[in-house]
Amino acid sequence: MKIIVIGGGIGGYTAAIKAAQVKADVILIEKGKLGGTCLNRGCIPTKAFLHDAHIIDAVHTSKALGIFDSVPNHNVQAIIDRKDAVVSRLRDGIASLCKANKIELIEDEASFIDEHSLLLKSRNEKITADIIIIATGSQPHRLPIEGAQSEEIWTSDDCFDTPIQPGEHVCLIGGGVIGVELATFYKSIGCNVTVIEAQKRILPSLDKDAANQLATMLKKQSVTILTNAVVDRIIPIHPYQVICHVNGIEHKISADRIIQSVGRKAVFSELKPENAHIETTKVIKVNEAYQTNIPHIYAIGDVNGQCWLAHGAAAQAKVAVEHIFHPDKPVHPLLIPSVVYSDPQIASIGLDENSAKEQNIEIKTGKFLVSANGKHVVEGKDRGFIKVITDTDNRILGATIFSHLASEMIPYLTQAIITKQTLESLEPVVFPHPTIVESLEDAMADVLGLAIHSFPKVR
């Protein structure tokens, strides 16, 4: 079977490798850099930056503790160079994996000619396949207002590939996940940071307690957060200006750099899906197996608009390839955690309190303050909590972790939800001490009012 995958991001290369493992004849077409958004302009560069930001923060904290007597200057160019080295090492790794799996890699832009054939733009060549997987991803959205289309105004794409320093005052439009992560980085390297958010709080789709506590912590670190702030226009001449209104009052924010982090949009117009009669809205429409209305054409990752996360794209890739080879096997819905790599991180999975209320689901909650965890105190971490939600039979339905290492802890609860574990069935699991992850035990026990390291609710 000949399979063509369009797009070499995390969704596309995962699908290509998965298909090659079952001995399909696979071609992977990428018009830009292998690794796509996640590796070149997304997950990996932000996390490389944030890693270095944490080192800078740790040096400042260590000085406050008297461990160092001064704080050395940091070098922003070295941070960018290290990020580049990380990205190119991982990109080489993906190229080697493709080669080892005998995947033919074509560097070109593909567009549909018809349901089975594609045109390669630079080569002006037609190629055909039995199965086509679209994994063309997404790109940053820009606000439909005056000044926002100017190239002077950055999106997240411009934060990584440019040698230009952001300047003294950085203004981020959008307090979602990307805005908050960039704000965390820029404040750590010494910029004055303003975050403008149209909704009543930053991270509006996440747990309210976690989002509000993070906002308080960022404000303490001199990040200005303007909420309920609707941006009217941008003046794209340095010093750049954002004109917005908050409760009817106009505000003007002047900045050396303005970055729009206002969501992403699916990339498929150049692909000409209409030539293959593929149904689209703002995204490519798919069913539960990530199959489009044309049965031999699949669409995975950001382009189908279901998840907008790298691990979601990779998971969808595996489901789609499994469906290609075993179309009669049932498809199980994916349970995908989300993480904000702020400091502390926020990781969440499954049901949250608000959704439970909206859906009239009766729940019980347990909450553990991680400031009572020994390892947390050893590492000098600030506040945080773990919230666990169960049904009335103590079956775990969801969780939010607002803590250092939250991203590493959330898979435990994801697995507990998928395997329908109750609090009682997990009791024999013993966590090593001292670890941050052992806080999960207290958070789960708190649902029953039995956490060891929390004060009793009723005496």
Ligand X SMILES: Cc1cc2nc3c(=O)[nH]c(=O)nc-3n(C[C@H](O)[C@H](O)[C@H](O)COP(=O)(O)OP(=O)(O)OC[C@H]3O[C@@H](n4cnc5c(N)ncnc54)[C@H](O)[C@@H]3O)c2cc1C
Options 5, 11, 175, 417; binder of ligand X; rule CB under 6 A: 11
Q: Which is nearer to ligand X, 155 or 213 (CB)?
A: 155
Q: Residues near 373 by Cβ (< 8 Å), separated by ≥ 6?
A: 434, 436, 438, 439, 442, 453
Q: Which is nearer to ligand X, 42 or 344 (CB)?
A: 42
Give residue for tokens 């001199």.
222
State how far Cα 398 lies from the chain centre. Answer: 19
Minimal distance, residue 349 CB to ligand X, in Å = 13
Options 3, 4, 6, 389; binder of ligand X; rule CB under 6 A: 6
Distance CA 227, CA 213 (A): 15
Q: Which is nearer to ligand X, 267 or 321 (CB)?
A: 267
# chain residues binding ligand X, by CB under 6 A: 38
Minimal distance, residue 303 CB to ligand X, in Å = 6
- From 54, 13, 53, 69, select the one nearest 36 (Cα to Cα): 13
Options 5, 28, 42, 284; binder of ligand X; rule CB under 6 A: 42
Distance CA 219, CA 261 (A): 19
Distance CA 99, CA 83 (A): 25
Site residues (CB under 6 A) for ligand X, limited to 285-344: 301-303, 308-311, 313, 341
Spell out, one character per residue from 120 to 159, where the chain touches ligand X: x when CB under 6 A holds, - when not.
Answer: ---------------xxxx-----------------x---
Is residue 415 a contact partner of residue 349, using CB atoms and an 8 Å limit?
Answer: no
How do 240-246 and 249-255 pair as beta strands?
A: antiparallel
Whether 245 is a known active-site residue: answer: no
Q: Which is nearer to ligand X, 105 or 418 (CB)?
A: 105
Options 18, 36, 53, 368; binder of ligand X; rule CB under 6 A: 36
Sign of the dihedral through C-alpha 212, 255, 77, 174: positive
Minimal distance, residue 422 CB to ligand X, in Å = 29
7 binding ligand X? (CB under 6 A): yes
Distance CA 447, CA 389 (A): 8
Q: Is 120 exposed, middle or buried (0-12, 13-18, 19+ CB in 10 A)?
A: middle
31 binding ligand X? (CB under 6 A): yes
Is residue 153 a contact partner of residue 240, using CB atoms and an 8 Å limit?
Answer: yes
176 binding ligand X? (CB under 6 A): no
Q: Which residues of 176-211 are buried (b: 16+ CB within 10 A; e: fewer)?
A: bbbbbbbbbbbbbbebbbbbbbbeebbbeebbeebb
Q: Which is nearer to ligand X, 38 or 451 (CB)?
A: 38
Q: For ligand X, which stretch binds (CB under 6 A), given 41-49, 202-210, 218-226, 281-289?
A: 41-49
Minimal distance, residue 225 CB to ligand X, in Å = 19
Spell out, one character per residue from 79 to 108, where the chain touches ligand X: x when CB under 6 A holds, - when not.
Answer: ------------------------------
414 binding ligand X? (CB under 6 A): no
Beta bridge partners of 111: 119
Is residue 129 a contact partner of residue 28, using CB atoms and an 8 Å limit?
Answer: no
Of the candidates 238, 251, 433, 453, the residue annotated as catalytic is 433
Site residues for ligand X per CB under 6 A: 6-12, 29-32, 36-38, 41-43, 46, 109-110, 135-138, 156, 178, 267, 270-271, 301-303, 308-311, 313, 341
Instruction: Give catalytic residue positions.
Output: 433
